[in-house]
Amino acid sequence: MLKLFKKSKHSWDADTLPRHIAIIMDGNGRWAKSRGLPRSAGHAAGAETFRRVATYCKEIGIEYLTVYAFSTENWKRPPDEVATIMELLGRYLREALEKMERDRVKMRFFGDQTVLPPDLRELIAETEELSRRYDGVQVNICINYGGRDEILRAAGIYAADVAKGRLPVGGQPDEELFSKYMYSSGIPDPDLIIRPSGEMRLSNFLLWQSAYSELYFTDVLWPDFSKRELDNAILAYQGRSRRYGGTV
């Protein structure tokens, strides 16, 4: 029997929800500029949007949410802007730690943490340790993450395992085996990738995992992204035919 979940004026089939949604949280700076505000204000507004969207995903039954918080290329931004982003991430994690027992939301982090501020690394480690106790929705936060960097890292670890005799010399890895060397090991590939802000590219986000993801682009800037916008993306996803290279 068809079940419909209704929010605002939208209805979608609750039986065919994407299991894993990934979002490129883009447009914070342009949102702030259009209002005559500093870029830091845009990042603060974007952080609040992330909280709302993550909560909504949990409410409607999305199993995995992955967000692009800070890329390997974002270090090129002005130091004060980078510092603001790191501060907001730390603030969010401290708040999340206080609420994890109640919300039972698991968190994982994708990306190279070695260059992150020590206090942020400590918060990440504590958050992931607590997350092991819970079942439920999982939020993956990509910080100092790049898709190409992830693939190169995975290839390096694979080669090291061959050199150490853990894998046969000359063996050809299949996709399932190689996927175990990615940050996202054990997590299904995203069904739906959403990019707000009008840009129509992946920008080095989940390049390995997005091979058969459905892509959804919207002109709405990330701080203005709402539950209704997520509903629109889900409706678009449910209207597509996923053939994975085959025929209908």
DSSP for 167-204 reads S-TT----HHHHHTTSTTTTSPPPSEEEE-SS--S-TT
Task: Give the distance, in angstroms, between the CA of residue 212 and the centroid of all CA atoms in the same chain.
Answer: 16
Strands 138-145 and 106-110: parallel
The per-residue b/e assignment along 183-195, b for 16 or more CB within 10 angstroms, e otherwise, is bbeebebbbbbbb
Catalytic choice (15, 28, 74, 161): 74
Q: What residue type is assigned to position 8 of the chain?
A: S
Catalytic choice (13, 15, 26, 112): 26
Task: Give the distance, in angstroms, between the CA of residue 218 and the centroid of all CA atoms in the same chain.
Answer: 17
By C-alpha distance, which of 89, 77, 196, 201 is closest to 142? 89
224 within 8 A of 26, measured Cβ to Cβ: no
Q: Is 74 known to be catalytic?
A: yes
Q: Is 119 known to be catalytic?
A: no
Known catalytic residues? 26, 74
